[in-house]
Amino acid sequence: MAIVVTGATGALGRLVIDELLTKVPADRIAAVVRNKEKAADLAARGIEVRIADYDEPATLAGVFHAGDRVLLISASEVGRRVPQHTAVIDAAKAAGVAQLAYTGVLGGPDADFQLAAEHKVTEQLILDSGLPHTFLRNGWYSENYTANLAPVLEHGAVVASAGEGRVASAARADYAAAAATVLVTDGHLGRTYELSGDRAWSFAEYAAEVSRASGKEITYRDVPAAAHQEILVGAGLPEAFAAVLVDVDAAIGRGLLAGTSGDLARLTGRPSTPIATTIAAAIG
């Protein structure tokens, strides 16, 4: 039996592997990747590398083995996730895996924004498959915001269309630690975890924290949705993806990403990483 991480060379996948290596020997871990070269460092650490592509279901045959505990990290290509996830679910069922853990979205069926749609379909596919499963409904990664600090610092403004909505984000490493716990310990089958940071912050508070960390005057500009869409497209984002991000801000304004269930801290055994810590690390 192996602990198998799909999408293992992605940002979250690598962090999950790092966490697993603190808990189990490398020879108990398998990484499913599309590109063998990108996983060379994982192989060098003693991890078994299994090659497969979500877009080519035939490549998934034999990737999973009976008794494996599998983490399906949701695919990154919005709009293509359902067929990709279906291929993984079918392969996991055919293999007879002992657990399929899936990284969905905070709120599950109650998440009514566009970005959640494919996650909700995937959860239902897993339920319909009859596989032993665990749902890890991840909230927002703090890095979703700190990765975009350059224009914020350049223009002196955090621009959003979320009003006074709050975001209970956590560091990507926190979510990775929770996933690793679910994969190496028992008692998680059939469970759903709503994962988010311990404290929700507003964009005004985020701007103030960036000001403190950078020493620059940063303000929060709350703009109408249409204006936000224009700004994002003007910055080079495709219109469809910009619309998805604006829709997320509307969901934040409705309070859908502010939940603080405490599940994340309980799984990791530690408080979630404060947004101020992630901002400070990003600014350096």
- 118-144: average pLDDT: 97
DSSP classification of residue 141? B
Residue with tokens 């404290």: 199
Report how far residue 128's alpha carbon sits from residue 142's, in angstroms, rounded to the nearest whole number. Answer: 32
Per-residue pLDDT tens over the stretch 198-221: 999 999 999 999 999 999 999 999
Task: Say how many C-beta atoms besides its own lie within 10 A of residue 236's C-beta.
Answer: 7
What the block records as the tokens of 206 is 């985020």
- Quote the pLDDT of residue 193: 98
Q: Answer whether 64's CB lies under 8 Å from 70's CB.
A: yes
Q: Answer whether 259's CB lies under 8 Å from 107's CB.
A: yes
Cα-Cα end-to-end distance for the chain: 41
Orientation angle between helical segments 11-21 and 172-184, nearest 10 degrees? 50
Q: Answer whether 138's CB lies under 8 Å from 132's CB.
A: no
Q: Give the pLDDT band (50/70/90) at residue 17.
A: very high
- Establish whether domains 3-138 and 139-170+196-259+270-284 are of one fold: no
- 141-145: average pLDDT: 96
Give the percent of the chain with pLDDT over 90: 96
Instruction: Out of 3.40.50.720, 2.30.40.10, 3.30.360.10, 3.40.50.20, select the CATH number for domain 3-138.
Output: 3.40.50.720
- 120-129: average pLDDT: 98
Question: Quick check: 172 pLDDT over 90?
Answer: yes
- Quote the pLDDT of residue 77: 82
Per-residue pLDDT tens over the stretch 175-187: 999 999 999 999 9
Question: Quick check: 124 pLDDT over 90?
Answer: yes
- Quote the pLDDT of residue 180: 98
Domain ranges, ordered by start, for the chain: 3-138, 139-170+196-259+270-284
H-run or E-run covering 85: helix 81-95
- 222-233: average pLDDT: 96
DSSP classification of residue 166? E
- Quote the pLDDT of residue 80: 87
Per-residue pLDDT tens over the stretch 253-279: 999 999 999 999 999 999 999 999 999
Hey, what CATH topology would domain 139-170+196-259+270-284 get? Answer: UDP-galactose 4-epimerase; domain 1 (3.90.25)
